[in-house]
Structure 1
Amino acid sequence: MEDLMLNWKNGHLRVDETTSQQIDAFAKDYMRFMVAAKTERESITESLRIAKENGFVDIEEIKEWKPGQKVYYVNRKKSAVFAILGQRPALDGVNMVAAHADAPRLDLKPRPLKEDEQIAILETHYYGGIKNFHWVSTPLSLHGVVVKSDGTVVQVSIGEKDDDPVLVIPDILPHLGRKIQMSKTMDEAIPGESLDVVIGSLPMKGEEKEPVKKYILQLLNDTYGITEADLLSAELEVVPALKPKEVGLDRALIGAYAQDDRVCGYTAFRALLDMTFVPEKTAMVIFADKEEVGSMGNTGMQSAFIDNFFSKLIALSKPSFTPLDLFEAWNKTKVLSADVTAAVDPIWKSVHEMQNAARVHYGPVLTKYTGSRGKGGANDAHAEFLAQVRDAFDKENVVWQMAELGKVDEGGGGTVALFMANRGADVVDIGVALWGMHSPFEISSKLDVYYAYKADEAFFKHVK
């Protein structure tokens, strides 16, 4: 009878020493990637660099279908698709892993720089679901681009090098915080408008009006050649100035900013890069933008950019295709919606229903549905597709688990799954379980990261 029952257990009890070494080596590669990919733009830039080194070419350069051909498509430097053409044409559908490249952060406002009490401050507008208190008294860095009126693009990165200064949002001392902060709810204690970043404090000599602001503007002009007016056409993001680190004396965990969702994007990307065979169906990996704010905009998963790429694929083998062909191709497409979920934290167990909760070291998590309460806003994967995915994982001895996101009425969350399903594809969510999701220092399991990669490999190889 025991053979008929589920018996999930800690993955470290299931792997040998050789696999443990592979897990550790893969984790170190992932951590190096994270150093170079603090923002969505940097994720796309770094992925594209690696892809080109591995033989991927712009799909615009390809004129006919050639199985095994490696192609990419970049959309406005914020989203991208990478694919290896299959033995069957795109009209027969593709196997797709869809992740997102954006992460919760603080964006600078259009007119960000001001001086108050002889301190230069950058005003921000938070992006995505954050807990405001996470961002105070934390070392911060500034990343992004400034586009001057003549079209010149200036890359900005401050706070990442060992000798770089960092930025900070000062918190109020507990001695004076009882009324203004500590007697309030966590939501009210640090309002969004208080997330202002200190960027400088030295006055420019000889200047009476806003001397500190003027000195900061002079430094920005000397270093980057930009003016205050140039900040009107800028995309500058404040993110934690923290490097990925191994966590725990046993070094079994990884701590890093933006593992939601770089961990799923990187593992899928590596599964594509490391493919040693020509897949039967085209294997595709998507890095989408704007997931944390609803997947809106022309770089998000609700936009036409993925249909544009899919149409280009179809046209390689059928130049005269019709819109109906695109619909049919979507109907034959299988998708892993690759996004993280919540792992049981021993300190906060009460938000989970323990029989259906994810745990670190148990492998990546299949999630049949997300959404909230009565599955609102969810894709709900069909049993037939789940069976195919289970079979693929089992054939490759993937360590994996199945769970849902917290208790039924505790809260909830969504992914890009429904946008792929709305196009007609079969979709199921899968991802690495994290502690501290959406915090400046999210925690993952090295084993889970490695087996997310192995799960994507198995999906590309076995799901038809």
Structure 2
Amino acid sequence: MPKTNYKKLEEKLTYQRKNVWEEMGDKDKKAAMEFNEGYKDFLNNAKVEREAVKQGIAIAQRAGFKNITEVKTLKTGDKIYAINRDQNILFGVIGKDLAKDGFSLLMSHIDNPRLDLKVNPLYEDSGLVYFKTHYYGGIKKYQWPTIPLALHGVVMLANGKKIEITIGEKEEDPIFMITDLLPHLGKDQLKKTLEEGVTAEELNIVIGSIPVADKKIKEKIKLAILEILNKEYGLTEGDFVSSELHAVTASKARDLGFDRSLVAAFGHDDRVCAYSSLLALLDSKNKERTQLCFWVDREEIGSEGNTSAQSIWIENIIAEILEKSGQPVDFKNIYQVLEKSQAISADVTAAYDPDYKEVHDARNAAYIGCGVALEKYTGHRGKYNSSEASPEYVQKLRAIFDAQKIIWQTGGLGKVDFGGGGTIAMYLAKRNLDVVDMGVGVLNMHAPMEIVSKADVYQSYRAYQAFFEKM
């Protein structure tokens, strides 16, 4: 009886993660580095949803995509995009028969945790003027004081004029900041838990300190700031009620590490998957089946709202594509198309952090540098608030990725009873699509600066392209 080669048997029978850098050749390593240069540029110009939509349109238009409102009929190979309220966008390449074949869909979200200005944010106190904020999404509040902040967003003036604002990104711009106690006076603060150390009502942004030269005015500094805003933008205090202004990290996406293998930036969650999915659509060579790339909003607060994954705009835009393709449009037909379709919820996951081993399931976590992560289900504790991909669908994806030599791994969001989180996958599942979560592992998720591996970013792009071409 021949002696068993247990080394080969181990390689054949066991699941082992692979380090992407060890698996890639020089050509792929160079391609990964170049891909991430484009990604960093996208991040620097897309810190809030409206900016991401603008950047996506610019990328798509360079590739020949047209606004669906400018197109009367659609045929195989046509490339279109559709915009919903400037915060939600679809990119699509039309296949041969949408009604018969369904579509392949990548859906990601372009919102991320940050600080939003309150409706009446401006106030003066003790020689300083502040903006009051309301945090958006899941943040650790103690991470936001003492870091440089930039202001992004839009204001609709009383006369109907829209003003776009970006302050704090250029070297010559001022920045803004939330204060914190010095250690010498922080004895009681330091006794509090991290959750209690900085409260939501203490996340007030310093924006100025010079008063107007008139002793008759009660709030001299506040009026001075309003004068600046009025001269620069035509804005009055009442206009804040019709504004959408966000405070975000005033830092550029930067290479991290001596080997430049990582990217530190604001907003990886989930713009890393949004960018990779759009580039995968642009580079896909599949002309047979309709391919769609959705960027949605409001995921960080439960996907509530008319620009979210729960919005019926998704059904509406599918109906428009059917109609312009000359195919029947009715309620039943739309949902039959959805039933024939497959999707990836292109969203990030938590990467294993060796400094916090106690919250991770080391066997089931995603690891930095080990490829794009496939999560069969998300949710929390007893699989609440999740969808779960079927074995049949996961097998199809495995076969595609292995055949295309995509380096991928499994992922999961922490130990069962330590928390967890949901994604937009559950809202696609409600529409009866096959769907699974697949994205990039992130360190510092939801922090003002997050970390991803360039190798994982590149593998996500390759996986998404393979999904479009082979599904």
TM-score (norm 2): 0.96
* TM-aligned CA deviation for residue 48 of structure 1: 0.9
Picking from 253, 272, 278, the partner of 1:244 is 253
Q: Which residue does the alignment assign to 2:350?
A: 342
SS at match of 2:53: helix
SS at match of 1:95: strand
Q: Is 1:403 aligned to 2:411, yes or no?
A: yes
Q: Which residue does the alignment assign to 2:4?
A: none
Picking from 426, 434, 437, the partner of 2:445 is 437
Give the whole-Å Cα distance in 1 for the aligned partners of 2:465 and 2:163. 38
Q: Which residue does the alignment assign to 2:29?
A: 20
SS at match of 2:355: coil
Q: Is 1:105 aligned to 2:114, yes or no?
A: yes
Give the whole-Å Cα distance in 2 for the aligned partners of 1:253 and 1:297. 34
Picking from 294, 301, 317, the partner of 2:309 is 301
SS at match of 2:457: helix
SS at match of 1:265: helix
* TM-aligned CA deviation for residue 445 of structure 1: 0.1
**Amino acid in structure 1 at the alignment position of 2:439:** G
* TM-aligned CA deviation for residue 319 of structure 1: 4.5
Q: Which residue does the alignment assign to 2:50?
A: 41
Structure 1 residues 320 and 110: CA distance shift in structure 2, 3 A = same
**Amino acid in structure 1 at the alignment position of 2:282:** L
| 1:82-121 alignment, distance < 5 Å | 82-121=91-130
Q: Is 1:326 aligned to 2:334, yes or no?
A: yes
| Structure 1 vs Structure 2 CA RMSD | 1.0
* TM-aligned CA deviation for residue 61 of structure 1: 2.6
Give the whole-Å Cα distance in 1 for the aligned partners of 2:137 and 2:328. 41
For structure 1, the 5+ residue unaligned runs are none
Q: Is 1:292 aligned to 2:309, yes or no?
A: no
Structure 1 residues 434 and 70: CA distance shift in structure 2, 3 A = same
Q: Which residue does the alignment assign to 1:386?
A: 394
Contact 2:346 2:437 in 1 (8 A): yes
Picking from 395, 416, 420, the partner of 2:424 is 416
Picking from 56, 70, 76, the partner of 2:65 is 56
* TM-aligned CA deviation for residue 457 of structure 1: 0.3
Contact 1:91 1:314 in 2 (8 A): no
| 1:173-212 alignment, distance < 5 Å | 173-179=182-188, 181-207=189-215, 208-212=217-221
For structure 2, the 5+ residue unaligned runs are 1-8
Contact 1:118 1:210 in 2 (8 A): no
Contact 2:322 2:328 in 1 (8 A): no
Give the whole-Å Cα distance in 2 for the aligned partners of 1:31 and 1:64. 36
Q: Percent identity?
A: 43
Give the whole-Å Cα distance in 2 for the aligned partners of 1:279 and 1:368. 28
Give the whole-Å Cα distance in 1 for the aligned partners of 2:291 and 2:419. 34
Q: Which residue does the alignment assign to 1:6?
A: 15
Picking from 213, 224, 244, the partner of 1:215 is 224
Q: Which residue does the alignment assign to 2:76?
A: 67
Q: Is 1:312 aligned to 2:327, yes or no?
A: no
* TM-aligned CA deviation for residue 150 of structure 1: 2.1
Q: Is 1:158 aligned to 2:167, yes or no?
A: yes
Give the whole-Å Cα distance in 2 for the aligned partners of 1:460 and 1:388. 13
Contact 1:204 1:212 in 2 (8 A): yes
Picking from 131, 141, 161, the partner of 2:140 is 131
Give the whole-Å Cα distance in 1 for the aligned partners of 2:332 and 2:147. 52
Query: Which shifted more, 307-316 or 368-377?
Result: 307-316
1:205-234 deviations in whole A, cap 9, x for unaligned?
114311110110111111111111111110
Give the whole-Å Cα distance in 2 for the aligned partners of 1:140 and 1:279. 44
SS at match of 1:452: helix
SS at match of 2:389: coil
SS at match of 1:344: coil
Query: Which shifted more, 81-90 or 383-392?
Result: 81-90
Contact 1:34 1:262 in 2 (8 A): yes
Q: Is 1:353 aligned to 2:353, yes or no?
A: no
SS at match of 1:27: helix
**Amino acid in structure 1 at the alignment position of 2:422:** G
Give the whole-Å Cα distance in 1 for the aligned partners of 2:382 and 2:337. 31
Give the whole-Å Cα distance in 2 for the aligned partners of 1:28 and 1:353. 32
SS at match of 1:263: helix
**Amino acid in structure 1 at the alignment position of 2:85:** R
Contact 1:87 1:278 in 2 (8 A): no
Q: Is 1:257 aligned to 2:266, yes or no?
A: yes
Q: Is 1:280 aligned to 2:280, yes or no?
A: no
**Amino acid in structure 1 at the alignment position of 2:248:** V
1:36-60 deviations in whole A, cap 9, x for unaligned?
0010110001111221121111122
SS at match of 2:120: strand
SS at match of 1:356: coil
Contact 2:400 2:466 in 1 (8 A): yes
Give the whole-Å Cα distance in 2 for the aligned partners of 1:454 and 1:9. 16
1:117-149 deviations in whole A, cap 9, x for unaligned?
121100000000000011000000000000012
Contact 1:91 1:326 in 2 (8 A): no
SS at match of 1:384: helix
Give the whole-Å Cα distance in 2 for the aligned partners of 1:249 and 1:406. 29
Give the whole-Å Cα distance in 1 for the aligned partners of 2:350 and 2:48. 22
Contact 2:372 2:409 in 1 (8 A): yes
